């Protein structure tokens, strides 16, 4: 029997043109959702949407731009009728030690990784509040606990954790859940780009002995987005093969 918990559900996944976001989009679509692949890279987003099938659509969106988020979400609601699931996955890193971190490295990471999540939650969360149904999953990171060379990224992801806990309390009575997940070390273009020594150091910290795959993260997101997780909100869940900072 085919498992389709998301039949007749519409989902937005940001940053889904590749990596973890693509894995999440494929998983939700595979389980019946109509997925909106929202990404700055429209061409790659279209590729993800094609792979998803099931009526998936790609939209060009920079989550760090509040006006763009506002108009894109309004257009999507007009087109689809409702948004049931929001996965805030778009993120960037610009690692540097504190004494070398530029204003641009700080500002750009905070803009995408934290403000972007806020803008999306505000627009889509307000819609879900009216509908009295919604599942929000925010992709934070194990780094939110603090990590060398990641002052900007850790601060942004820590902000995502606090934001998620706050909105979970605000929206619970309207049947909207919000949870944060904290991936450890997952194989994507983001992690493939890091220097070999750091890559191997990270690998050595994983008790299960392998880096994660996007699908490992997608399995958790699919659970949190489903009605099996209807009694779970405001949680912060690690997904990293035991990896912790």
Ligand X SMILES: NC(=O)c1ccc[n+]([C@@H]2O[C@H](COP(=O)([O-])OP(=O)(O)OC[C@H]3O[C@@H](n4cnc5c(N)ncnc54)[C@H](O)[C@@H]3O)[C@@H](O)[C@H]2O)c1
Terminal Cα distance for the chain, rounded: 40
Binding flag, residue 18, ligand X (CB under 6 A): yes
Which residue's structure tokens are 């731009």? 65
Task: Clarify whether 3 is annotated catalytic.
Answer: no
By CB under 6 A, name the one of 62, 105, 162, 175 that touches ligand X: 62
Catalytic residue among 3, 153, 231, 243: 153
Binding flag, residue 133, ligand X (CB under 6 A): no
Smallest separation (angstroms) from ligand X to the CB of 2: 27
151, 99 Cβ separation under 8 angstroms: no
Interface with ligand X (CB under 6 A), residue total 29
Binding flag, residue 226, ligand X (CB under 6 A): no
By CB under 6 A, name the one of 179, 188, 233, 238 that touches ligand X: 188
Stretch that binds ligand X, among 49-57, 75-83, 96-104, 180-188 (CB under 6 A): 180-188
Which H/E stretch holds residue 209?
A: none
74's tokens: 């309004």
Binding mask 82-101 for ligand X (x = CB under 6 A): -------xxxx---------
Stretch that binds ligand X, among 11-19, 119-127, 163-171, 172-180 (CB under 6 A): 11-19
Instruction: Please tell me the distance from the alpha carbon of residue 38 to that of residue 55, in angstroms, as a whole number.
Output: 14
Residues in the chain: 245
Residues 223, 225, 231: CA angle, nearest 5 degrees = 80
Stretch that binds ligand X, among 9-17, 76-84, 96-104, 164-172 (CB under 6 A): 9-17
Strand partners, 181: 139, 237
By CB under 6 A, name the one of 10, 15, 109, 151 that touches ligand X: 15
By CB under 6 A, name the one of 42, 110, 190, 194 that touches ligand X: 190
Stretch that binds ligand X, among 17-25, 76-84, 119-127, 171-179 (CB under 6 A): 17-25
- The two most distant CA atoms of the chain are separated, in Å, by 56
Round the CA-based radius of gyration of the chain to a whole number and report it. Answer: 17
Burial of 2 (0-12, 13-18, 19+ CB in 10 A): exposed
Instruction: Please tell me the distance from the alpha carbon of residue 161 to that of residue 140, in angstroms, as a whole number.
Output: 7
Enzyme catalytic residues: 153
Chain residues in the site for ligand X (CB under 6 A): 14-15, 17-21, 39-41, 61-64, 89-92, 112, 116, 139, 141, 183, 185-186, 188-191
């Amino acid at each position: 029997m085919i498992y389709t918990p998301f039949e007749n559900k519409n989902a937005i996944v940001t940053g889904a043109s590749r990596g973890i976001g693509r894995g999440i989009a494929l998983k939700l679509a595979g389980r019946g959702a109509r997925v909106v692949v929202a990404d700055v890279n429209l061409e790659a987003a279209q590729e993800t949407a094609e792979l998803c099938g099931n009526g998936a659509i790609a939209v060009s969106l920079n989550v760090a731009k509040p006006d763009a988020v506002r108009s894109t979400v309004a257009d999507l609601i007009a087109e689809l009728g409702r948004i049931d699931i929001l996965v805030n996955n778009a993120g960037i890193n610009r690692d540097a030690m504190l004494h070398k971190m530029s204003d641009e490295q700080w500002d750009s990471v905070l803009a995408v990784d934290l403000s972007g999540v806020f803008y999306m939650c505000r627009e889509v969360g307000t819609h879900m509040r009216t509908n009295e149904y919604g599942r929000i999953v925010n992709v934070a990171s194990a780094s939110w606990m603090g990590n060398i060379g990641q002052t900007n990224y850790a601060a942004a992801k820590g902000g995502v954790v606090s934001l998620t806990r706050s909105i979970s309390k605000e929206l619970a009575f309207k049947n909207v859940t919000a949870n944060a997940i904290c991936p450890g070390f997952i194989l994507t273009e983001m992690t493939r780009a890091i220097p070999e020594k750091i890559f191997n150091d990270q690998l050595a910290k994983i008790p299960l002995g392998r880096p994660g795959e996007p699908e490992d993260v997608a399995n958790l997101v699919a659970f949190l987005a489903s009605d099996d997780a209807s009694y779970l909100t405001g949680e912060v869940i690690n997904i990293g093969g035991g990896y912790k900072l």
